[in-house]
Structure formats: C-alpha cells, structure tokens
Amino acid sequence: MKNRIKDQDEYYWVQCFKQGDPDALAYFFDLHYKALCYFAERLIGDEAEAEDIVADCFLKLWKGDRQIETAQNVKAFLYISCRNACMDYFRKLKVKTAAQEYTYRQLEHGEEGIFYEVVKTDVMEILAAEIESLPEKHKEVFKLIYFDQKKTDEIAKELGLSVKTVRNYKALAVEMIKNSIVKKGLTDALYVALVLFLEGRKNF
C-alpha cells in the first residue's frame, strides 16, 4: 500500500514538474540533494565543489525540455549530469593526484567502482528517510555511532546514559531499520550494501 501511495505521489510531482511548477523542483531537490552531494564528494573529494556541481545539475534539470515521464527519469538525469560534471571538474585540473586520475579513468569508462558509489549513495538516501522515522533517542544514538563515528562509551558520557542503554538503543534502531527496508523490497545490491553499512560498526 505504501509503495502505491509513493508511486502516486511521484507521478503527481512529475506531472507538476512537466508543467513548470517550482514546487515540483523543490520536491525533487529535497529528495535527492543530500545523496547527490554525497555522491559528488565521494568522487571529487571536495565538499564545496560537490555542492556547486549538484546545484548546477538541478539548474540544468529545471532549464531542460522537461521531457520527463517518471521519477526514475529525474533521478537518472541528475546522476548522469552529476557524473559528467565531475568528469569536467577533473578535466579542468591542471595537475591530478594519483587518486583523482584513477577516479577520472573510472568515470570515463563507466567502470564498476562508479556503480558502487551510486549504490552507496542510494543507501545513504534510504537511511536518511529511515532514520527520521526512529524514536528520538534511538535516532540520536544511531547518528552519533554511524555518522559521527563515536564509540559507545563516548556517547554514554555525552548523553548521560549507561553503556548498556546506548547499546540497546543502537540494537533496536538497527533492527527497526532492517525490518522496514525488508518490507520495502530493495534490490539485492542495495540490501547487501545497507546491511554491510549497518554491520560495519557492530562492535562500537
């Protein structure tokens, strides 16, 4: 039922976008901006430049011919535009580090590494939505562990909780997220990537 409602919402916003409704652009901006910034920053290694690149991608989307039929078309346009803009960024560099040269070659040939960056970006997008649905304390503990990279004892001290309580909050948060994504029927690649992310700080 939820997937059907989501599909209906996306169809509505696509139609609004095709008619030039700025609110539709705002909808897709809210939906994809953070994930695209993460994607671009992972590729070029510069947060400020990544944000500029993503802003330009949304501008191109808005100024385009609006021949968009689905929300997936919007997402594909944004990621392809972002990828191409990252390539342009590397082309303009007079001197590239070894890592930048390697990433540029991957982008140029569309190799698997870029696919995994997209998968990781999708994981972050899914996580962002799931985290917001968690109870407040579970959400706070989850963010401190997975995004701020803090250890259990540090969080316990910061929040005035016992280490055991922090671990319980974390375990319950992870379980709630896993249960939720299973119900949504993610692709195998996304599910595996998400589980690996969640398991990555299992002992912290």
Token couple for 40:
């671009």
Amino acid at 78: L
| 91, HSE (Cβ side, Cα atoms, 13 Å) | 8
DSSP track, 14-79? HHHHHTT-HHHHHHHHHHHHHHHHHHHHHHHS-HHHHHHHHHHHHHHHHHS-----SHHHHHHHHH
Tokens 């899914």 correspond to: 126
Token couple for 162:
């016992």
Token couple for 31:
């939906």
3-7, 35-39, 124-128, 190-194: range with lowest mean pLDDT: 3-7
12-26, 75-89, 101-115, 146-160: range with lowest mean pLDDT: 101-115
Architecture of domain 112-204: Orthogonal Bundle (1.10)
Give yes or no for residue 202 having a pLDDT over 70.
no
pLDDT value at residue 29: 94
Residues 50-105 have pLDDT tens digits of 999 999 999 999 998 777 888 878 888 888 888 889 989 988 887 777 877 877 77
